[in-house]
Each structure stands twice: as C-alpha cells, then as structure tokens.
Amino acid sequence: MKRKIVTILVLALFAVSSAGLLAQGQEEAAAAAKPVAIEFWTTETQSDRMATIQVLIDTFTALNPEITINLIPVDENALATQTQTAAAAGTLPALFEGPAETAVSFGTQGVLDLQATKAIVDKIGKDRFYSGPLKVLETTDKSSYYALPYHGWIQGIWYRADWFEEAGLNPPSTWEDTLKAAEYFYQPDKNQYGILVGTLPEAYAEQCFTPIAMSNDAALFDADKNLVFNSPEMKEAVEFYAELAKFNPPGPQTWRARDYYLQGKMAMFFYSTYIMDDLAMLEVAAGSLTGDNFGDLSGADFDPELVKNTRIAPIMTNESPAGYGTVVALGFFQQKDPAKTAAARKFIEYLYTPNAYITFLHMAPGGMNPMLKEIASNPRFQNDPMGLFKSYGPEKMAEIIDGLENVETFSIVEGVRIEEASEITAKQIIPQMLYKITQERMSVDAGMRWAEAEMRKLID
C-alpha cells in the first residue's frame, strides 16, 4: 500500500514537473513571438540620416514583425545628461548610438549590459574588427567591452592649399606653422579669418583641443590614475589654444562656422572627415552657402575647385605627433525585461550584416567609416552614391580608415584605460573652461583651477 502511494506520488510529481516544463517551453516559444517594443537613441539627429536609419528599422521589423523599434534622436551634447536622468527615472532605452567616450562613461556608471555586448563581439569575431577602435571600448580588466564600435571619423586641420602655396607657408602640422598661418590669413577688415577652433562650451571645442594638448604631451591622468591636469604642458596647450582662438571669426564659435570656409572666408578649420561630402558636392554644400539666396550679402557660391584646393593635415606636432578621431559605438543599456535586450541584440546583429552596414555608412561617406575590415574593402562600400570614393580616390579613403587604428584620447594612458577621463569628456569640463578663458576673459590660471576643481568633483 505504502509503495503504491509512493509510486503514485512519484508519478504525480513527474507529471506535474513535466507539465511545468512543457508549459515553460510553451512560454518561451510565446516569448519569442510576443510583441516587444524597444527604444533606440541615436545621435544622428539630422532628418535625412534619421530617414535612412528608419529604412533600416523598417526592413528589420518587416523580417521580425514581433519587434517594434522607436527611433529617438538625442543631441550628442545632451546624451550624457539625458542618460543620467533616464537612468534615475528607470526609463533607459534598450539601445543607443553615441561617441565611444560617452559609452565608456556610461559603462563606469554601471548602466550598460556588458554581457550582451561581449556576446555580439564573440559572435562576429574579434579579429574581424579593427583592433584600435575595439581597444578604446575595452573594459579595464579586458574581460568585456562597454559598447560595439560601429563607425568612426578622424579629424585634422583642413586648409586652403592654394592660399598656403601662394603665401609660401608650410601646411598646419606644427604649432608654429599653424599659428603663423592663422595670423597671416586673419584679415577681419576683408571679412576673412585665419582659423576655426571651438570656443563655445560644446564637444567640438574638446575635439579641437585634444590633439593640441596631446602633441604637447599633456594629459588628464597618469597611468596610475592620478589627475595631472594642472601641468606646465597643459598650461602651454591652453595658452596656445587661446592664442589660436584670437584668429577665429568674431565671438564664440562652434563647428557650424565651417560654413565660412566653404564660402572662401577662412583659411583653415579643425574638422572631421564628415566635411568631405560638403567640399565635393554642390547639393550637400548648399546649406552652408548664402550667395544664391541673398545676392546682396557678401555670401558665396559653390566653388567646384575647393575640393582640389583643400588638404587635410591630420597630425599635429609640437613635442610629439598626435592625431585625433572618434569612434561611434552601439551600446546596450540594462533592461529589466530580457526580451527587450534580446530584441536589441537581434537588431544590432542585423546592423552588422553587410547590406545594412553599408547603407548606414553611406549616409555620410568619408565621415562614417567601417569598423569591420571586410567592409572597408567591400566593392559596394567603395561605390558610394555620392561618388566620393571616386573624387578622392580609394587610396586617400584607405588612409583615412587606417587612421582610425591610431586614434588617441585622454582616456587611454600607456595602454591603461582611465574611465574618469571619459567622465570628464562626457561632462564637457574642458570646453567650458575654454569658453571661460577665450570669451569671458578669465585668466588661464583661474580657468585651469576652475576646471581642476570640477574634475575633482566628478572623480571623488
């Protein structure tokens, strides 16, 4: 009798558990097909770029009807703030696309899903990526990655080679030559300006400043993670920057003032490779020109010779050579609902497939360069709709893409990743300091003291 009861009990238990398993299996199947909506924050806020990304989303959701993706534009300068407030409110999106430095700063705040990121790198294969950009996003213990490198640009000083040649000046590759040329071409009475460096408190100012500081061996941190911002080298760099800013167009300026170059009113400007299509294409440049719309103003028409007369000096040298570029990454924010992360993973995997990837990169040929080696050599990638590869030649383009291997930032010192430096970059402390010094007439010493105090607030 007892045995019978035990047998029945065991059978019943088995039945219950297998029914449970079955139910679980069904639930999993249901979860896969259950509709899930995720948000995707992108820093590509221009409407034409949003439209391209939307096309990719539409294609993806047609293949995966259970997934809905809401594309939300977030200004690059507001990304850190928006994330911090969304994290506090518990409304972080599943996915974001933004500068690698910002992604690292998110990672150190613990809001990123590193496992999901690592899984994608492993699935694609580490060796297929360019190693430089991947390194920028590696965690300190090298066990995972904060985000996935997706595209990148390099920056340099673009200059009027024809003007320089005529004046007998050297290309702006050293501090001395750059300052000399800026001074020479600064003729405000003729409405012509020497150079453009960022002086508004925005990311652009730091992008211009970083290669100048690095070329003077100035750093934010040493390899032991001590803040060494207030150094003689950094002071020299800030002073030099403030000196250059005197030959800027009047008042505080940001990247938008590159229009003056396209109008033939400026000799050089710091800019990324994003400028390449503006230089070469009339349609793209139209937004920067005023001559057609306002005949009476001293505007300008499109100059088809400009692309030939423009060169880039990608490396700045004083004490040592320094280049600058930015990797733009895709990252996962932690989600409570694993289905959202799963959907986001699926979407990112799709974004790395050749067709989707090349469509994305062709939004800004020259500006958006691939992070997978095989895409760079893909003939479809090299045949961009604007014909930019043809106008610049594949060699020049290859040179640009190779430049990404040597991207330097404040946040990697002797191979050690310094998360605090990314935090300082994300919070734009240096641009605010440069604004105070160049526009609010704060002394260099006072400005640097202010910046150092702000940086200490962030790292303590």
Binding footprint of another protein on the chain (CB under 8 A):
81, 84-85, 87-88, 109-111, 188-189, 191, 193, 200-201, 249-253, 257, 259-260, 263, 265, 290, 296-299, 427-429, 432, 439-440, 454, 457-458
Surface-to-core class of residue 232, CB atoms within 10 Å of its CB (0-12 exposed, 13-18 middle, 19+ buried):
exposed
Comparison of 375 and 424: residue with beta carbon closer to another protein: 424
In terms of CB distance, is 111 or 398 closer to another protein? 111
Report in angstroms how near the CB of residue 85 gets to another protein at its nearest: 7
Write down the least CB distance from residue 36 to another protein, Å: 26
**Minimum distance of another protein from residue 198's CB (angstroms):** 13
DSSP for 10-58, please give it: HHHHHHHHHHHHHHHHHHHHHHHHS-EEEEEEES--SHHHHHHHHHHHH
Closest approach, Cβ 459 to another protein, in A, equals 10
> At its nearest, how many Å lie between another protein and the CB of residue 193?
8
Decide whether 36 or 429 has the Cβ nearer to another protein: 429
Separation of alpha carbons 237 and 212, rounded Å: 6
Distance of CA 157 to the CA centre of its chain: 18
Q: How far is CA 368 from CA 175, 197, 199, 407, 451, in A?
A: 28, 22, 25, 15, 32
CB nearer to another protein: give 92 or 407: 92
Residue 362: what are its φ and ψ, rounded to 5°?
A: -75, -5
| Shortest distance in whole angstroms from residue 407 CB to another protein | 25
- First CA to last CA across the chain, in angstroms? 72
DSSP count for the chain of H helices, then E strands: 23, 13
State in angstroms the smallest separation of the CB of 128 from another protein.
34
- The minimum distance between CB 362 and another protein, in angstroms, equals 29
Secondary element (H or E) of residue 8 = helix 2-33
Q: Closer to another protein at the Cβ: 113 or 259? A: 259
Residue closer to another protein, measured from CB, 110 or 385: 110
Burial (0-12, 13-18, 19+ Cβ within 10 Å), 359: middle
Least distance CB 201 / another protein (angstroms) = 8
**How far is Cα of residue 155 from the mean position of the Cα atoms in its chain?**
11
Q: What minimum distance in Å lies between the beta carbon of 294 and another protein?
A: 8
- The first and second tokens of residue 305, run together, are 């010779």
Beta-bridge mates of residue 322: 316
Q: Which is nearer to another protein, 1 or 297 (CB)?
A: 297
Alpha-carbon span 64 to 342, nearest angstrom: 12
Residue number, 65 or 110, with CB nearest to another protein:
110
Q: Six-digit token pair at 336?
A: 């409570």
- Phi then psi for residue 397, to 5 deg, are -65, -40
Question: Could you tell me which of 56, 34, 61, 70 has the C-alpha nearest to residue 363?
Answer: 56
**Nearer Cβ to another protein (154/245):** 245
Residues 6+ apart with CB under 8 A from 285: 262, 278, 279, 302
Distance CA 209, CA 203 (A): 10
Rounded least distance, CB 402 to another protein, Å: 35
Whose Cβ is closer to another protein: residue 60's or residue 261's? 261
User: Shortest gap between Cβ of 424 and another protein (angstroms)?
Assistant: 10
**DSSP codes joined into one string, 368-424:** SEESBHHHHT-HHHHS-TT-HHHHH-HHHHHHHHHHGGG---TTEETTEE-HHHHHH
Q: Are 327 and 152 in contact (CB under 8 A)?
A: yes
Is the CB of 193 or the CB of 247 nearer to another protein? 193
Which CB sits closer to another protein, 411 or 438?
438
